[in-house]
Structure 1
Amino acid sequence: MPYDLKELAAISGMPGLHRLLRPAHHGVLVESLAERPVRTLAPAKNKVSLLSEISIYTEDPDVTVPLTEVFERIHQQHGPTLPVSAKSGESELSSFLAEIIPDYDRERVYQSDIKKLVTWYSLVSQHRPYQEAQEAASEPESALTNPEAPATAEPTADEPLSTGGIISELDPEPTPTGDPEVTQTGAKKSRKEAE
């Protein structure tokens, strides 16, 4: 997920987007997503809509597109700047969303929803870093990802042991009681015995 939307929310009665910080006695402590963030208390009576839980309706009533995926599609096609704004005309906004989600439901997704989407994307792209997906080439290859890689040999006696290693003969005998508190030199004294 390139944009992390988990802690971002739209709050009724409060303009813009906010980052949720922590619950408070009479609401939620939030920080505005702005050039100069301001912390404030969102009252409990205000509706908090987490961006990570918002989806766009499609023509298939059983399928919705999560906002995180919509943001990813927008970023792939347009980058951080959009060709439209919340003040663009209805036809421009509709064609913009149709470019991103060709099968979006034109009856259930209103112009006000598209304006919110454009505004939210602009805010998030300005104030949150886009995280590039890690490429598989940057990860070291293993025998699981590369079948041509040689199989790992068993460790030698001087190598540290792993769960697949061989226990050397020099290792001490296990304690007879199986109690981890007992060492080779005898039982540990409890705090009461030591005093």
Structure 2
Amino acid sequence: MPYDLKELAAISGQSGLYRLLKPARHGVLVESLDAKAARSLAPASNKVSLLSEIGIYSQDSDDTVPLTQVFENIYQKYGTNLPVSNKSSEAELTSFLAEVLPEYDRERVYLSDIKKLVTWYSIVSQHRPYEEATTESEAPAAETTEEA
């Protein structure tokens, strides 16, 4: 997986993304993914959504494409410089998502979802390193050279 999204979350009612640090008595201790990297407590009453568990609806009725795969598609096509922002027009945003994920469900994926996707990708690409996905055939080859 290119971007490690396991410990990143979006918190309802708060802008930006957060890194989960540890559970606390009345919520979760989080650190913001911005220049300040401020730590705070996300109360248990707020909905915390892990980015690794979020997906984009596809045209297959019960299927979603994981956010990690969507981020991989964006990186392969555009790198870290997106041609759109969350302030772009509806036509620009929908054509951007259609280029990156042609099979997305145009009825269930709203404009606000695409804006969140663009914002989240911008934040993650600034604060998380992109890691090339290693194939299973490359990993054993590396192990055999170390043993020799």
Q: TM-score, normalised by structure 2?
A: 0.91
1:95/1:139 CA distance change after superposition, 3 Å: same
State the shift of 1:35 in Å.
1.7
| Partner SS for 1:72 | helix
- 8 A contact 1:35–1:127 mirrored in 2: no
Shift of 1:66: 0.2
- What's the CA shift string for 1:126-169, capped at 9, x where partnerless? 00000112362993486xxxxxxxxxxxxxxxxxxxxxxxxxxx
SS class of match (2:118): helix
Q: Which residue of 2 aligns with 1:76?
A: 76
Relative contact order, higher structure (CA 8 A, sep 6+): 2
Distance 1:134 1:16, change over 3 A: same
One-letter amino acid of the structure 1 residue matched with residue 62 of structure 2? D
2:61 aligned residue: 61
Q: TM-score, normalising length from structure 1? A: 0.70
Looking at structure 2, the residues matched to 20 and 54 of structure 1 have their Cα atoms a distance apart, in angstroms, of: 16
| Larger Rg belongs to | 1
Q: CA deviation at 1:52?
A: 0.3
AA in 1 matched with 2:126: Q
* Offset at residue 103 of structure 1 (A): 1.5
Matching of residues 79-90 of structure 1 within 5 Å: 79-90=79-90
RMSD: 1.6
Equivalent residue, structure 2, for 1:128? 128
The residue matched to 2:73 in structure 1 has which SS?
Answer: helix
Q: Do the aligned partners of residues 140 and 49 (structure 1) sit closer, same or farther apart at CA in structure 2, a change above 3 Å counting?
A: closer
Aligned partner of 1:139 in structure 2 is 141
Q: Which runs of 5+ in 2 are unaligned?
A: none
Matches within 5 A, 1:88-167: 88-134=88-134, 136=138, 139-140=141-142
Q: Aligned ranges for residues 40-59 of structure 1 at < 5 Å?
A: 40-59=40-59
Q: Which runs of structure 2 are paired with 1:18-33 in the superposition (5 Å)?
A: 18-33=18-33
- 1:30 maps to a residue whose letter is V
